[in-house]
Amino acid sequence: MLSWLQRLWRGGSQVTLDQIRRCFDEAAADEEHFPSTIDPRILHVKLILSYLGDLAGRRVLDVGCGKGRFARVLQETHPQAEIYAFDLSLKMLSYAPAQLRRVAGTMTQLPFRDACFDGVYATESLEHAVAIERAVSEMCRVLKPGGRLVIIDKNAEQWGKLKTPEWEKWFRREELETLLRRDCRQVSSQFLSYWEDVEPDGLFLAWLARK
């Protein structure tokens, strides 16, 4: 039997939303590659917490949360915040903690009203959106004026370093900066490693924006 990832490789760029959803539903059982938790010391987590700031009484959206491992840390760190865990896969969401506000849907049509979140972030999920411009626009749309957005994903200049399905998209630094500047007044980006004592190897980039 082909694995979920092998089926996506075979499907190529013509993969449909339903195919992606079914494959991630199946992948939810793979705790090794899709863990339910994450070490809060990892810089990806620390950057989100630092950039979003004090979240007490605020509403935050995790776009493409998978099993909610980042959202779990934010909720534990800021118990008085409203953390929304959003993902395409209901089976992935079933692993997310019950105290999170779990919502299923597609990144290119977020089921939320305009300007309703104080913070939005997407960690290695935009690469799966296929319609990238639309997904970025949607994240900006649901963000309040003055709200902050974090996107952490892979650097297109490092394409080929990991085995990926053909439809997955990695990003040039300036590419996402340009898309974000359409709706946000402050935009920057930086290279990112996992640990403080390890220099970035160029694989991961973080884009930071303020609407």
- Here the CATH number for the domain that contains residue 75 is 3.40.50.150
Q: What is the span of the domain harbouring residue 90?
A: 4-210
**Residue 88 gets which letter from DSSP?**
S
Distance CA 3, CA 56 (A): 42
Interval 115-149: pLDDT, tens = 999 999 999 999 999 999 999 999 999 999 999 99
State residue 10's pLDDT score: 39
User: How are the residues of the chain apportioned to helix, strand and coil, as percentages rounded to the nearest 5?
Assistant: 35, 25, 45
pLDDT over threshold 50, residue 2: no
State residue 23's pLDDT score: 87
Interval 32-50: pLDDT, tens = 999 999 999 999 999 999 9
Strands lying side by side in the sheet with 186-192: 101-104, 82-87, 59-63, 117-123, 143-154, 204-210, 186-192
Distance CA 152, CA 63 (A): 11
Mean pLDDT of 86-101: 97
State residue 15's pLDDT score: 80
Determine the Cα angle at 24 with ends 147 and 125, to 5°.
25
Using pLDDT thresholds of 50, 70 and 90, give the confidence band for residue 8.
very low
Number of structural domains, the chain? 1
Helix (H) or strand (E) holding 153: strand 143-154
